[in-house]
Amino acid sequence: MLSNQGYGVFELRSKQFCQLDTFKMERWFPELHMKNRGKKVRPPIAMDIMFDKALGLRYTCTGDEDGTLSLSVVKVDSEGAETKEEHVRKFSAPIAQVTFVAPGHLLVAATWEGAVMYFDYDVHGLSKGIMVYDSMNHDVVTSICPIERLDGHGFCIGTFGKTLLTYKIEGHDCVKQWQRKFRTPVLQIRSFDLTGDGLQDIAVISAGGLHLLQLNDQLVTKHISQKIAPKKN
The burial class, CB within 10 Å (0-12 / 13-18 / 19+), for 180 is middle
Q: Which pLDDT score is estimated for 6?
A: 78
Amino acid, single-letter form, for residue 186: V
Q: Which pLDDT score is estimated for 230?
A: 65
Q: Which pLDDT score is estimated for 228?
A: 66
Distance in angstroms (rounded) separating the CA atoms of residues 93 and 109: 10
The β-bridge partners of 209 are 206
Q: Which pLDDT score is estimated for 26?
A: 92
199: Cβ contacts below 8 Å, ≥ 6 apart: 150, 193, 214, 215, 220
Amino acid, single-letter form, for residue 160: F
Question: pTM of this prediction?
Answer: 0.86
Q: Which pLDDT score is estimated for 148?
A: 83
Which fold is adopted by the domain 134-233? Lipocalin (2.40.128)
Q: Which pLDDT score is estimated for 193?
A: 82
Low-confidence ranges of the chain (pLDDT < 70): 4, 38-41, 216-233
